[in-house]
Structure 1
Amino acid sequence: MPVINVTLMEGYDEVTRERLAKGITQVAQTVIGAPLEGITVTLQELPPANYMRGGTRKSPGTPPISPSEIIRSYLAAMEARDLETAKQWLADTALLTFPGGADFTSLEAMIEWARARYRSIGKTYERFDETGTDDGAVVICQGTLHGEWLDGSKFEGIRFVDWFLIRDGRIVEQRVWNDLSETPATR
């Protein structure tokens, strides 16, 4: 069973240290197949006075917002139709792909496309999963959709999966899968 020791500069908050330890545990489980309960991760901290790089004392940097929190903030803004806030989370070259191969490079175009499908929509989240890749962080969220069809009737319990790629704190790609087209009101 692996024992992984990590040395950090003193000063990172508890949430950041916990995210780091959990992430390292998940990587070890995935890469070497060790059972979760058999993986030990220890974080040791060096006081700033005991750390120097390039002949200069350093301080810990500010950790970025977690990829899942970026996605939660973006999706909350989209559900509220606060497009200005939602746009702050998108890279300038973001590509949004929705069911049926509908690709968008602007939120306005995506919302216009959705107007022909439903009056309103919301999400109930069951889980968020995130991982690092060579291209950036990937977040997958899944759950169910609820809302109102064009005729005013309500819907709920429609499955969805959203896949996001995040680079430098911004969403560069979103891919959406859902069962909206499998329900009677959209046929």
Structure 2
Amino acid sequence: MQHAPAVNTKANQASPPAAVVDEYLRRLMIPDPDAARELVSPALRIRFTGGREMRDPAQCAAFNATRYAWVKKRIEATEVVDGASDDHAVVYSRGTLYGAWPDGTEFEGNRYVDRYVVSRGLITQMDVWNDSAEWLLERAGLALS
């Protein structure tokens, strides 16, 4: 069930873009897509690994539930691109994923890079890249050297 994103508040407007992204990821990795939704624009566009288009944090959580038994992000850096303004800030989050595959086999060190666009304290765009597909190919014996 999808809910309408929360209305932009003064608290959201006052939050620096990097803090918005870090808090969004914290909530999404619980996973608590309802709480994560409070930090996104109604016009949110998500492009997940493999070019999968999504519009809501709950879709991210649902996709992750099919790919992993559980997964978390170990954030190494959150970087705001020079030239950011209240209207348009590009933020990168990079680090590694850790968790367990559906069969319970644990993993860590799976690199990720996420790119966000933040406008007036709300995330309007999210692009996600990670090594999971390569790791899954290797587990299936299909990876090329």
What SS does the aligned partner of 1:115 have? helix
What SS does the aligned partner of 1:96 have? strand
What SS does the aligned partner of 2:68 have? coil
Unaligned runs of 5+ in 2: 1-10
1:98 aligns to what?
Answer: 48
Structure with more relative contact order (C-alpha pairs < 8 Å, separation 6 or more): 2
Alignment pair present for 1:142 and 2:73: no
1:164 aligns to what?
Answer: 116
TM-score, structure 1 as length reference: 0.62
Unaligned runs of 5+ in 1: 1-61
| Residue-pair matches, total | 127
| CA–CA distance in structure 1, aligned partners of residues 113 and 41 of structure 2 | 21
CA-based RMSD = 2.2
1:36 aligns to what?
Answer: none
Aligned mate of 1:77, from 27, 34, 39: 27
| CA–CA distance in structure 1, aligned partners of residues 63 and 86 of structure 2 | 32
| CA–CA distance in structure 1, aligned partners of residues 115 and 26 of structure 2 | 16
Distance 1:125 1:88, change over 3 A: same
Report sequence identity in percent. 29
| CA–CA distance in structure 1, aligned partners of residues 39 and 23 of structure 2 | 8
CA contact (8 A) 2:28 2:61 kept: no
TM-score, structure 2 as length reference: 0.79
| CA–CA distance in structure 1, aligned partners of residues 107 and 93 of structure 2 | 20
